[in-house]
Amino acid sequence: MGIRELTCIQCPLSCRITVTGDGDQLTFSGNQCKQGIEYARQEIINPTRTLTTTVATAFSDFPVLPVRTAGEVPFGKIFEIMNLIRAVQVEQRLKPGDVILENIAGTDAALIATADMYEG
């Protein structure tokens, strides 16, 4: 049976929540409200994050382009996605929201530009 400790980030109270058990049999302690349980359950079962990083471009005045996943992706796939991104070079000028890669690393999320390469 696993025991994990995590810090809830739903409000400034920052409860330290202890999660005991495996699979569907999870018990929570330390949380001061229901939101804490939901946060902790998600963090144990399938933690997800929005990945923000940069990709190389072919333009010397804009050598790297800020990008993000459109939506959250499983945290466990972050480094796999980083490796895919490292192989990419942007050959056209893009604007925020333009898609660079679809369904990255088998997730439903696309990789999109977040900066405007036309400006300046």
Residues of the shown chain interacting with another protein in the complex, contacts defined by CB under 8 A: 6-7, 9, 11-14, 49-54, 56, 63-64, 66, 68, 75, 78-79, 82, 95-96, 114-116, 119-120
Using CA atoms, how far apart are residues 104 and 54, in angstroms rounded to an integer?
Answer: 15
CB of 57 to another protein, least distance (A): 9
**Least gap, CB of 74 to another protein (angstroms):** 13
Question: 25 or 83, CB closer to another protein?
Answer: 83
68, 89 in Cβ contact below 8 A? Answer: no
In the complex, minimum distance from the CB of residue 47 to another protein, in angstroms, rounded to a whole number: 8
**66: which strand partners?**
54
**14/20 with CB nearer another protein:** 14
Q: Give min distance, CB of 23 to another protein, in A.
A: 23
Number of residues in the chain: 120
Looking at the Cβ atoms of 26 and 54, the one nearer to another protein is 54
Q: Identify how many contiguous H helices and E strands the chain contains and give both numbers.
A: 2, 10
CB 73 within 8 A of CB 107: yes
Cα 35 from Cα 13, distance rounded (Å): 12
